[in-house]
Structure 1
Amino acid sequence: MSQHPLRTLIETCDAAISRRDFDALMAFYAEDAALVVKPGMVVRGIPAIRRAFGAISDYFDGQLEVTQGAMEVIEGADNALVIMETRLRYPDGQGDWIDETRRATYVFRKEPDGQWRCTIDNSYGTALLAAEGFFHH
């Protein structure tokens, strides 16, 4: 079984994040995309997403590395739900490194030109449900 083209696309995106090439990264987002920056904070649209990635990178002193683990892709109606392990590596500020694995969820839409573009980027996955302050009563 050949790997889904979205795996290659996500590998390309993660490499762009790791090298801070956010202009290249934005080519893979839909104009109306949403990014979960952190629990309770969602930004929408490419300009806001571009700024958020810059701020996230700055938070990690430009040393955030992103790679992929296990991945499942479910397609339906020109959309794809991607459930995957997103592996993060970043400095802890004390001279050591932290390795974190998130079970992320992403939604991609197949555009009329045949290209997949991310419409929802949620690296936190279902952990958002447990995040304090996420629910608004």
Structure 2
Amino acid sequence: MTQEETAVLNVIETMTASFAQADIDKVMSTYEPNAVIMFEPGVGLSDEEAIRQGFTEFASLNPSFTYGEHQVVVAGDVGLHISPWKMNGTTPDGNPMELGGLSVAVLRKQPDGKWLMVIDNPYGGQHLTH
């Protein structure tokens, strides 16, 4: 993996670890302002308050994440990360739950050299119907 590909993967790993620890401020620091995040298939959010609420709600499930193989592609200042994922957690009433999908994230290299997510779609493998 190139240095830039590794930097892209590090952003994904930082976000995931921070999310599992319910560190929402750190999670938010891995995204550009006005990033689009899909908390459910076909519905993208870009409002910071709604995004914080979504992450807070999911973090309350005490999530534990596992990823399959990571694919990272970098073209100039744009990075793409693709990986299957699973999340195990516990609902507020104590029942175990599992979610999963295909994570597709687009990142952009910032003027300071840092990579941040612009689009985060953890349901990239789902077929959408209109």
Distance (Å, rounded) in 1 between the aligned partners of 2:45 and 2:34:
10
C-alpha contact 2:72 2:82 (8 A) present in aligned 1: yes
- Quick check: 1:32 aligned with 2:31? no
Q: Give the 3-state SS of the residue equivalent to 1:80 in structure 2.
A: strand
Compute the TM-score of the two structures, normalised by the length of structure 1: 0.79
Match of 2:21 in 1: 19
Cα shift at 1:93: 7.1
Moved over 3 A (4+): 92-101
TM-score when scaled to structure 2?
Answer: 0.83
Q: How far apart are residue 14 of structure 1 and its match?
A: 0.6
Q: Deviations over 1:70-93 (max 9, x none)?
A: 111111131111111222111367
RMSD: 2.3
Unpaired segments of 5 or more residues in structure 1? none
The within-5 A match list for 1:106-117 is 106-117=105-116
* Corresponding residue of 1:57: 59
Give the whole-Å Cα distance in 1 for the aligned partners of 2:99 and 2:54: 20
Identity percentage of aligned residues:
27
Contact 1:109 / 1:117 at 8 angstroms: preserved in 2? yes
Distance 2:93 2:47 in 1: 35
* TM superposition shift of 1:8: 2.2
Separation in 1, partners of 2:84, 2:46: 23
1:4 deviates by 1.7
Q: Runs of 5+ in structure 2 lacking a partner?
A: none
Structure 2 vs 1, CA of residues 37 and 95 (structure 1 numbering), >3 Å: closer, same or farther? closer
- Larger deviation, residues 63-72 vs 90-99: 90-99
Give the letter for the 1:23 counterpart: D
2:44 corresponds to which letter in structure 1? V
1:83-132 deviations in Å (ceiling 9; x for gaps):
112221113678664454422100000010100000001001131xx245
